[in-house]
Structure 1
């Protein structure tokens, strides 16, 4: 059984969580072309390394961030979104 540590609820079975994908930069709709929006919405990066992702603890509906190594699938740390400092 894989355990994921929720910043609010502590260590829990990973079956209690839902992943919402990587944190991405916000595009300015006033200056962004349609092609840029298409790329932003429908093209996924397929890279190696560490990524910051959105996760949700389903029973409590608590959203938080997790740093995960894409090669080993190891979750390095989890933290509240308010602790995010200028990452995209």
Structure 2
């Protein structure tokens, strides 16, 4: 026979599972966003050396996966850090 504590524990577990399941798409999107930001930072660092802190923060502030992907494609075609910074500034606006 199940005790009240057992029933409450089971109900809490089920509620937690339901909440986690509902939140999964948001977590996945956040993970993709962070990974794409880090990939862009890595590519720009490889191309131009250590990035200024402000540029690093601007890249982290971009919340559009499409913009980040476009910047990832463009970083290897830019001729200078200034040119890349200008592209990032446009993406942030």
Structure 1 length as normaliser, TM-score?
0.26
Output the TM-score relative to the length of structure 2.
Answer: 0.25
Higher helix share: 2
Q: Say which one has the larger Rg.
A: 2
